[in-house]
Amino acid sequence: MDDRLKEVHQTEIAESRINEDFVEWLKTKGPQYVLLGLIGVCLYLGVVRWKQHRANYFNDAWTEYVECRLPGSYEDVAARYADVPWLSEQALRAAGDAWLLAVQRGKALGSNAPGVTTPALSELQRLDYLDKAAALYHALANGDDGSLAMTLYAVSAMQGLAVVAESKGQIDEASRWYDMAAARAEEFYPDLARRVRDRASTVGEYTEPVTLPTQAELPAPAAPAVRTPVSIEQSLRELLLPDDPGAG
Closest CA to 110 of 63, 68, 81: 68
Q: How confident is the model at residue 109, as a pLDDT?
A: 85
Report CA 72 to chain centroid distance, whole Å.
Answer: 16
The pLDDT value given to residue 55: 87
- Residue 178 and residue 196 in contact, taking contact as beta carbons nearer than 8 Å: yes
What pLDDT is attached to residue 67? 93
Residue 201 has a pLDDT of 87
The confidence score (pLDDT) of residue 235 equals 61
Other CB atoms within 10 A of residue 128 CB: 14
Q: What is the pLDDT of residue 248?
A: 44
Q: What pLDDT is stored for residue 221 in this prediction?
A: 73
Question: Looking at residue 222, what is its pLDDT?
Answer: 72
Around 78, how many Cα atoms within 13 Å sit in the side-chain half-sphere? 18
Q: Which residues of the chain have pLDDT under 50?
A: 1, 8, 247-248
pLDDT in the model for residue 114 = 55
Please tell me whether the overall predicted TM-score, pTM, comes out greater than 0.85 for this model: no
Q: What is the pLDDT of residue 40?
A: 80
Q: According to the model, what pLDDT value does residue 45 have?
A: 79
The neighbouring-strand residues paired with 107 are: 120
Question: Are 144 and 154 contacting, i.e. CB atoms less than 8 angstroms apart?
Answer: yes
Judge whether 141 and 157 are in contact, CB under 8 Å: yes
pLDDT for the residue numbered 44: 78
